[in-house]
Amino acid sequence: MYGTYLRRELAGRKKQTAIVAIGLAIAIALVIVVNALTAGVRDAQAQALASVYGVGTDLTVTGAAADPGQGEGPRFDFDADAGQSDGETTTLAQSTLRTDFLRGTLDASVLDTVAATDGVAAASGALSLTNSTFSGEVPDGGFTPQDGEQPAAPEEGQNPSDGGQGGGGSFGVDSFSVLGIDPAATSVGPLASAEVTDGRGFDADDAEALVALVDSTYAGANEIAVGDTIDVAGSDVEVVGILGSTSGSADTAADVYLPLRTAQTLAGVDDVISTVYVQADSADSIEAVQSALSDALPDATVTSQSELASTVSGSLSSATALITDLGTWLSIIVLAVAVLLSVLLTLSGVGRRTREFGTLKAIGWSNGRVVRQVAGESMVQGLIGGAVGLVLGIAGIVLINVLRPTVAASGASQGTGPGSVGGGPTGGGGMFQSPVADVVLQAPFTPWVLVAAIGLAVLGGLVAGAFGGWRAARLSPAEALRSVA
């Protein structure tokens, strides 16, 4: 009896049922798509950060940034007999390996301090360097002005080479990033998110050997293969392996990797490092470990992954802000409007059914039965809207995954590696915008979101039914009889 009457009433009010169901369907579909996109952007951001932090890295400890207005910048010093001369020009070629002059290094004992801190499960140190090669030709006797006139005599205290102006020679500077790592500690840090695609990785015997691992992108651009030698600080270093990122859309953290002791020797630095990668024993202890490290190492900078994520910029950040803020509020507004529309249409329908409900109550229907009738109709309308919204939402997710939109990420970087975002891991200096590889955005299916969407649709129907039932329960048989008369 109840089901038959319910079906007839819905069939007799197809227009109202369709309007309510469509409104709820659009709102539910929007909620599903926005939540899927939010999860996709969050995954994309984690993917971009993975190339910097490495799998399992929760914190990084780096040297404090130096004042760029103080100290000397990178420079080349040549001996008096440096280069080869043919009587007219002198050919110079020299490589140097240096730490970043805008960021201080850390004493190697810092690694022991970090490892001994409560809550630290693993830690490894690295030294970030830049190898620069100066090569070119300098005219014998110094430079002359472009117009051919003889240079003016240098003033007192001025070097003869400073008195000239103009051209007469050509030179260039080529550089690549180098990261010295501990061959015995690769489970945390940049190599945790990289894999050897050719050759072999480091082993215990490589601690002080002149061997290197090269990023696959850098190797391809410079035609470097396993077994070749590369010039690092004037020394021939054998390439024993080619590295690729475990993420297909992200780079590794540096162009060339050396054993830590080898990097320190070639750079002519003491027992120092630039970065310590830290893995906490649990996610809950990350904040406490960061606080403890900051207290124990006041002169260092301790950065968490969440802080690094806040520096990510570019279209990835724009997409995150747009979807998280605008999308969430838009979903709430549309859902509220859909529920409000359902309530208004239900109340309007109850008002037009005054004689019907009054007559039903006159022949013996109780207030509860009238309320159940109206609520049942609204719930069915909500279920229809939820089912249609679920289909539309899934279709939207499938469309996004088929189109595979691409977003880019860049960050305020302090490193020199090709995949450096935020600068925490590489420990380099100088804040600049460092682009990373484009990240393909995907919208994952989240079961709880789909279930919640159906629940919201039913809830919307119940809210509309509650208001409509309350309005219908207030009708009296006498009012119905007066309406009939």
* 94-149 residue pLDDT tens: 778 888 766 778 898 999 999 999 999 889 899 989 998 877 776 665 545 545 45
* CA neighbor of 269 nearest in space, from 279, 280, 261, 277: 261
Alpha carbons 400 and 441: distance in angstroms, whole number:
8
* CA neighbor of 24 nearest in space, from 296, 341, 433: 341
> Does the predicted model carry a pTM greater than 0.75?
no
Are 405 and 441 in contact, with CB atoms under 8 Å apart?
A: yes
pLDDT exceeds 90 at position 9: no
Alpha carbons 386 and 69: distance in angstroms, whole number:
62
Alpha carbons 291 and 27: distance in angstroms, whole number:
43
Q: Kindly provide the b/e burial profile for residues 391-430, where b requires at least 16 CB atoms within 10 angstroms of the residue's own CB.
A: ebbbebbeebbeeeeebbbbbbbbbbbbbbbbbbbbbbbb
pLDDT exceeds 90 at position 256: yes
Q: Kindly provide the b/e burial profile for residues 157-179, where b requires at least 16 CB atoms within 10 angstroms of the residue's own CB.
A: eeeeeeebeeebeeeeeebbbbb
Which residues are bridge partners to 194 per DSSP? 245
What are φ and ψ of residue 429, in 5° steps?
-125, 175
CB atoms within 10 A of CB 41: 25
Helix (H, G, I), strand (E, B) or coil at 57: coil
CB atoms within 10 A of CB 453: 24
Alpha carbons 288 and 254: distance in angstroms, whole number:
30
Alpha carbons 435 and 413: distance in angstroms, whole number:
9
Under the banding of pLDDT at 50, 70 and 90, the label for residue 414 is: very low
Least confident of 251-260, 395-404, 442-451, 473-482: 473-482
**Encoding tokens for residue 19?**
């309007």
Alpha carbons 209 and 19: distance in angstroms, whole number:
75
Tokens 């971009």 found at: 48
Alpha carbons 182 and 131: distance in angstroms, whole number:
19
**Encoding tokens for residue 381?**
């309308």
pLDDT exceeds 60 at position 426: no
The 10s digit of each residue's pLDDT in 175-230 is 899 999 998 887 787 887 788 999 999 988 898 899 999 999 899 999 999 999 99
Tokens 């909500």 found at: 382
